Amino acid sequence: MKVGDYVAKVTNEWEKHNNWMEFPDEKPEPLGVIVSRSRHGASWFWDVLMCCGGVESFNENYLRVIDESR
């Protein structure tokens, strides 16, 4: 993942904890574009510009890239 990638929120709990798993019947929920990376305590998060115009932070395990910027 990198700044500029279009990402979706992983909805399956197994997939959140095991990023190598994929469940084709459970599609990720589109969120928006990564705009930066931030630190919250000991963890790193991606800041995502949401479709509504706000920015929210998500753990990398909760995101999946839909479309790479380059």
Residue whose structure tokens are 């999946």 = 64
pLDDT above 60: residue 3: yes
Maximal CA-CA distance, the chain: 34
Give the predicted TM-score (pTM) of the model.
Answer: 0.75
d(C-alpha 31, C-alpha 61), whole Å? 14
- CATH class of residue range 6-67: mainly beta
Express each pLDDT in 45-66 by its tens digit.
999 999 888 999 998 888 888 8
Instruction: Give the separation between CA 48 and CA 60, rounded to whole angstroms.
Output: 11
Cβ atoms of 56 and 63 within 8 Å: the answer is no
User: What percent of the chain lies above the pLDDT cut of 90?
Assistant: 34
